[in-house]
Amino acid sequence: MTELLKITLPDGSQREVARGTTPAQIAADIGPGLAKAALAAKVDGALYDIMRPLEADAQLALVTAKDEKDALELVRHDFAHVLAEAVQSLFPGTQITFGPSTDDGFYYDVAAPKDRGPFTEEDLPAIEAKMREIIAADKPLRREVWSREALIERWASQGESFKAEWAAELPGDEDLTVYWSGGDWLDMCRGPHLASTGKLDPQAFKLTRVSGAYWRGDQRNAMLSRIYGTGWLNKKQLDSHLLRLEEAAKRDHRKIGQEMDLFHLQQEAHGSVFWHPKGYIVWRALEAYMRRRLDKAGYHEVKTPQIMDARQWEQSGHWGKYRENMFVIPDEVPNTQDEGPVVSDAAEWMALKPMNCPAHILIFKQGIKSYRDLPLRMAEFGCCHRNEAHGALHGIMRVRQFTQDDAHIFVREDQLVEEVAAFCDLLDSVYKHLGFESYAIKLALRPEQRFGSDEMWDWSEQSLRNAVAATGRATEAYGWEELPGEGAFYAPKLEFHLTDAIGRTWQCGTIQTDTVLPERLDASYVGEDGERHRPIMLHRAILGTFERFIGILIEHHAGKFPMWLAPVQAVVATIVSDADDYAHEVAEKMRAAGLRVDTDVRNEKINYKVREHSLAKVPNLLVVGRREAEEGTVALRRLGSDEHQKVMKIDDLIAQLVTEATPPDLR
């Protein structure tokens, strides 16, 4: 007798189907339009192959292109597999490793055949052409379950040493999955995948670049070729993305930073930034603004040591989690695969701090704290160091030395929701002042490897939900979303994702509820009952790091900073040398009013000066000649304005520019 399964659809209706029925068959029963549009399924909330037989009662939702997030993840995963198949078809002897989807595409790490060098961008056109052949062939993507031993044997027989190594580490008591492309190529993969390669749009992808990547991210391992691509549901989406990339290249913070003489990077301090005078003006203006906002919000600023005893990091739990990314003195301290070495008997081992949290608890523990002292808001513009992999470094966006706008708030349980809500309001105001009108809020939930009890995590996660709801921001308008498994090892966290001028998102702000670190480092306060209690520690940042956020600001504004952040707010430029003295007089008067002003009295044509200062993104160019000197006026040219220059009395102009240059929190 055929076993029947009860399948519940999103509208609440139910269907009884035979065990082994596929989601594709259910879609076909509903209608031919849905059968054609369905790309995959969600079975009890998890993505599922459209052709995979159902084995139990389930909640079923069919995924179409309208479910863009899930659909994009599927097609990008498939593009990665097609890429690997194309490379092996064109270049026999190539070994494949891993090929995940990314935020805007996919990549695959491959080892080139021994008889040729690493892959280069010159190989990309041929690989793209072969990928389109595979897509046009409409090869079925078929799932099979294998044992670990069968996988190892398969990879070893094919000369796939990397895959064999990985397969050997998979759980021996679990069935593992592979996917066939047609009947002649397979890859080890959890899935899910589309029904066939023909479901991909052959005009909706483009291979973009090739870089080096170490096997498993370890520089002691073999160097592989990482081939990147971008993949979309259709050509229109791809074209829009390529236009964004073109605009992003124009806004690249490294390019603009050089044009504006803000900073530079060099090998002698790899992963650290050399801030030039103009760049450091931006830094100082941003820091002063943040300091005023924190002072007004009741934070106490502190400063903690750069180097701390390694035993402190062991006690906090960071040693086992972050040791490989910490700069340790001496650097030959051994490491292990689990919790790191025991350092309790080695007082001479020190570490540059990768974060500020433990040091702030040490300040909190000085003296007895009462429930009346809470909430206690402790802020630090703390310089931290993390030994990021060489390949992960990117301009000033990803560095090894950075300064966080860090703070920790120690609260009682009854204060948590109100304090998190107040932080959300502060962050909202700061982002709007800095020119970011749109951001999304996401709740990152408990990871598999974590400290603390399930009850603690239940309470912490719900508290963050309640706090965001209290501000009215747990809505679709704010992109509210929950991210299973993406919390820190000690706490769930709210993440704040900015959207910039060209639609890119940047995760900057965060707030985390932590009950683990106060326990591990024995922080306590005296409650109203006279007993000792553990405070809850809120880890929070708004900018994230100054380096990265300034990079984001540069790209968001394309270097055209708001007046209050502009390193040079005006340049007084002469048309003729007879006006040199007047130009200096105007500049001095503006400086006395608090404006940042330069003069340009070089013996160059005015059009040359205009072009040069426009490239340097100076917001105001004040042109002076004999007439202006005689009349006490200037001719104002605005950066990026189509209006002709405007002649103004110098006192009127100064009053106007002083107003424009006033930071938004002081207006």
With tokens 């599922």, the residue in question is 48
Task: List the structure tokens of 17.
Answer: 């189907």
Query: Of all residues in the chain, what percent carry a pLDDT higher than 90?
Result: 78
Cα separation, 357 vs 219, whole angstroms: 29
539 is in an annotated binding site: yes
How far does the chain reach from its first CA to its final CA, in angstroms?
79
Mean pLDDT of the chain: 92
Cα separation, 109 vs 99, whole angstroms: 6
Cα separation, 132 vs 510, whole angstroms: 42
Instruction: Tell me the pLDDT tens digit for each residue of 549-560.
Output: 999 999 999 999
Specify whether the CB–CB gap between 377 and 404 falls below 8 A.
Answer: no
Model confidence at 346, pLDDT cuts 50, 70, 90, reads very low
Neighbouring C-beta atoms of residue 347, cutoff 10 Å: 10
Model confidence at 390, pLDDT cuts 50, 70, 90, reads confident
Residue 292 φ then ψ, to 5°: -65, -40
Model confidence at 162, pLDDT cuts 50, 70, 90, reads very high
Distances in Å between the Cα of 51 and the Cα atoms of 21, 47, 140, 364, 428 are: 9, 12, 10, 58, 45
Residue 643: is it exposed, middle or buried by C-beta count within 10 angstroms (0-12/13-18/19+)?
A: exposed
Model confidence at 336, pLDDT cuts 50, 70, 90, reads very low
Please, what is the Cα angle at 643 between 639 and 646, to 5 degrees? 90
Instruction: Tell me the pLDDT tens digit for each residue of 571-593.
Output: 999 999 999 999 999 999 999 99
Specify whether the CB–CB gap between 364 and 523 falls below 8 A.
Answer: yes
Cα separation, 57 vs 64, whole angstroms: 22
Cα separation, 491 vs 590, whole angstroms: 50
Question: What is the predicted pLDDT for the residue at 448?
Answer: 87
Annotated catalytic residue within 493, 497, 540, 617? 493
Task: List the structure tokens of 438.
Answer: 């749109």
State yes or no: is 557 an active-site residue: no
Cα separation, 29 vs 422, whole angstroms: 52
Cα separation, 451 vs 517, whole angstroms: 9
Annotated catalytic residue within 49, 123, 201, 406? 406
Q: What amino acid occupies position 475?
A: T
Cα separation, 486 vs 316, whole angstroms: 20
Rounded to an integer, the average pLDDT of 32-57 is: 92
Q: What amino acid occupies position 237?
A: Q
Question: What is the predicted pLDDT for the residue at 347?
Answer: 54
Residues 6+ apart with CB under 8 A from 372: none
Residue 621 φ then ψ, to 5°: -115, 120
Residue 597 φ then ψ, to 5°: -135, 140
Cα separation, 84 vs 90, whole angstroms: 10
State yes or no: is 219 an active-site residue: no
Task: List the structure tokens of 572.
Answer: 């007084």
Give yes or no for residue 351 having a pLDDT over 90: no
Question: What is the predicted pLDDT for the residue at 103?
Answer: 85
Residue 404 φ then ψ, to 5°: -90, 150
Cα separation, 228 vs 211, whole angstroms: 8
Cα separation, 597 vs 567, whole angstroms: 9
Model confidence at 332, pLDDT cuts 50, 70, 90, reads low
Annotated catalytic residue within 206, 253, 539, 609? 539
Give yes or no for residue 340 having a pLDDT over 90: no
Instruction: Tell me the pLDDT tens digit for each residue of 428-469.
Output: 999 999 999 999 999 999 998 888 888 989 999 999 999 999
Annotated catalytic residue within 88, 95, 312, 404? 404
Q: What amino acid occupies position 1?
A: M
Cα separation, 518 vs 237, whole angstroms: 48
Specify whether the CB–CB gap between 472 and 489 falls below 8 A.
Answer: no
State yes or no: is 404 an active-site residue: yes
State yes or no: is 14 an active-site residue: no
Rounded to an integer, the average pLDDT of 315-336 is: 71
Model confidence at 1, pLDDT cuts 50, 70, 90, reads low
State yes or no: is 539 an active-site residue: yes
Element (H, E) at 574: strand 570-574
253 is in an annotated binding site: no
Reduced to 3 states, what is the DSSP secondary structure of residue 265?
A: coil
With tokens 């709740």, the residue in question is 443
Model confidence at 313, pLDDT cuts 50, 70, 90, reads confident
- Torsion angle, alpha carbons of 34, 38, 44, 49, to 10: 140
Confidence (pTM): 0.81
Annotated catalytic residue within 189, 357, 384, 424? 357
Strand duo 274-275 + 263-264: pairing: antiparallel
Instruction: Tell me the torsion sign for CA atoms 661, 663, 664, 667.
Output: negative
Lowest mean pLDDT of 96-105, 325-334, 564-573, name the range: 325-334
Cα separation, 79 vs 62, whole angstroms: 21
Neighbouring C-beta atoms of residue 485, cutoff 10 Å: 11
Give yes or no for residue 206 having a pLDDT over 70: yes
Residue 345: is it exposed, middle or buried by C-beta count within 10 angstroms (0-12/13-18/19+)?
A: exposed
75: nearest Cα among 95, 104, 98, 111: 104
Rounded to an integer, the average pLDDT of 508-529 is: 93
Annotated catalytic residue within 386, 442, 446, 504? 386
Model confidence at 217, pLDDT cuts 50, 70, 90, reads confident
Rounded to an integer, the average pLDDT of 59-88 is: 95
Give yes or no for residue 359 having a pLDDT over 50: yes
Specify whether the CB–CB gap between 556 and 380 falls below 8 A.
Answer: no
Model confidence at 640, pLDDT cuts 50, 70, 90, reads confident
State yes or no: is 306 an active-site residue: no
- Rg (C-alpha) for the chain, rounded Å, is 29
Specify whether the CB–CB gap between 329 and 349 falls below 8 A.
Answer: yes
Query: Of all residues in the chain, what percent carry a pLDDT higher than 70?
Result: 97
State yes or no: is 270 an active-site residue: no
Q: How many residues does the chain have?
A: 667
Strand duo 300-301 + 376-385: pairing: parallel
533 is in an annotated binding site: no
Task: List the structure tokens of 271.
Answer: 């992963």
Give yes or no for residue 344 having a pLDDT over 60: no
> Please, what is the angle between helix 124-136 and helix 68-90, to 10°?
110
Element (H, E) at 428: helix 416-433
Rounded to an integer, the average pLDDT of 13-42 is: 92
Q: Which residues of 172-208 are buried (b: 16+ CB within 10 A; e: fewer)?
A: eeeebbbbebbeebbbbbebbbbbbbbbbbbebbbbb
Model confidence at 642, pLDDT cuts 50, 70, 90, reads low
Strand duo 350-352 + 328-329: pairing: antiparallel
With tokens 């100076």, the residue in question is 618
